[in-house]
A and B are shown apart, each in its own frame.
Chain A
Amino acid sequence: MAGPANEVDGLGRCQGGKGLEFLQPTSLTEALELKAAHPGAVPLAGGTDLMVDLNFDRLRPEAMLDLTRIDELKQWWPHDDLIRLGAGVSYTRLVSEIGEYLPGLAIASRTIGSPQIRNRATVGGNLGTSSPAGDALPPLLAAGAEIEVASAGSSRRMPFRDFMIGPKKNALAPEELIVAVHIPKARGPQQFSKIGTRNAMVISVASFALAIDAGTRAISCAIGSAGPVILEAPEADEFIESSLEESGAWDARSRIDNSVLQRFGELVAQGARPITDVRGTKAYRQHALAVIAARTLTWAWDDYMASA
């Protein structure tokens, strides 16, 4: 059996040269107190991002703070016209239990990883990682979600756009944890689409989410994997809202002209700020976005036309 923590074990694996504390709170209050006492402790939810770093010796924190025993984080409930989604709800549960209220987020969740990944991985973890390629993030932005974070004795809520502030950077303070996401229940069709090299288990090269509010006749878009953060596309939103208004398409529930779809795609592509990297070039991402934006709008509008 392996000896002290700084030995190389039988498989030649270096255990990091220092101890690693394992903290396992069973309530949110206890977790926040532990986080205050150990600001360097790394919160661990489904582990589908963190364990890869741990297994490959890229992460050697002083402590891991396991959040999977905290019931408060694993619950969701409706309140007013929102869903309060605990940070620790897995994608599998999200899809099966709340998909009908949050169709955009559910469609995106179904594209994440594999069944094994979705059984463990959480929206809180996607927010914690704050990757521009995080697939849960564009639907949160398009739906106008707010993030609830807490530290011992206080909590605050902020819109998603104030939460994610750069690639793998967010507004979370060292003593804070993500507690929940407050997401308006869908008030119309929502869609999500992503481009990748194959159909499953793929990181987005570009992604796009769209939410229609059939009551206020508003459309909100969000672009993923094509900028330092998840981006809004206000010009595309305004363009499509006003062309639908002018053509009377909201009342007539009529098709959107191809020229309008094309212009909408162009405005989305112009709203992106992509870079060239191993997964795709800037030009490819822009082209892909124009295509998936028009396609996503068509799907969502088909749903709107079909709704009486």
Chain B
Amino acid sequence: MRIELEINGDTRSADDVWEGESLLFVLRERLGFPGSKNACEQGECGSCSIYLDGNLVCACLVLAGQAQGARVTTVEGLAEDLDLHPVQEAYLKAGAVQCGFCTPGLIMATHELLERKAQPSDAEIREALAGNLCRCTGYEKILDAVRLAAKARA
């Protein structure tokens, strides 16, 4: 099938998409947006987190056809040219990135949290990031990064 959707503000399309594949597969393998990572394909790790029509979702759990005509924002859509988004800057400054595999998903979840709640409490940060796994950092630096990003907005 042919899929047409808006990604990071541009209209994109892919032909010969198999009806059974996920939006994550379409983004990464067909449209050249490898920022969203594929780690579990079962909604557990959050590394494929994207915005779908404004809602944070796991792209691995969206069937390609369900995203027909949708507005998608991936991690590639946050930076403006070479200027990183403040949330990305905060992750760098806080040393919250080790292997980096979880980072795009965590950046998206952090972005979504701060859009909703500019100055979240620690409990709210933990709840918002509960769907994102990191095997490297032990999370402390990630919490620091979110606090730093929130501070930068204040």
- On A, residues with C-beta under 8 Å from B are 1-3, 5, 9-11, 15-16, 19-22, 24, 44, 46-48, 51-52, 54-56, 60, 64, 66, 68, 92, 113-117, 119-120, 199-201
* B43-A116 in contact (CB<8A): yes
Which A residues are CB-close (under 8 A) to B131?
Answer: 113-117, 200-201
CA of A52 to CA of B16, assembled, Å: 22
A172 to chain B, nearest CB (A): 21
With A10-B29, A116-B58 in contact, is A51–B63 under 8 Å at CB?
yes
Give 9 CB contacts A-B under 8 Å.
A1-B16, A15-B20, A20-B20, A51-B43, A54-B20, A64-B65, A66-B65, A113-B131, A116-B57
B132 to chain A, nearest CB (A): 8
Which B residues are CB-close (under 8 A) to A44?
Answer: 63, 66
* B60-A51 in contact (CB<8A): yes
For the residues of A in contact with B, the DSSP-based class is loop
Which residue, B18, B21, B42, B56, has most C-beta atoms of chain A within 10 A? Answer: B18
* A16-B30 in contact (CB<8A): no
- On B, residues with C-beta under 8 Å from A are 1, 14-16, 18-22, 29-30, 41-44, 46, 49, 55-58, 60-63, 65-66, 68, 109, 112, 127-128, 130-132
Which A residues are CB-close (under 8 A) to B132?
Answer: 114
Which B residues are CB-close (under 8 A) to A47?
Answer: 61-63, 66
Which residue, A1, A21, A55, A119, has most C-beta atoms of chain B within 10 A? Answer: A55
Q: Which of B18, B65, B109 contacts A24 (CB 8 A)?
A: B65
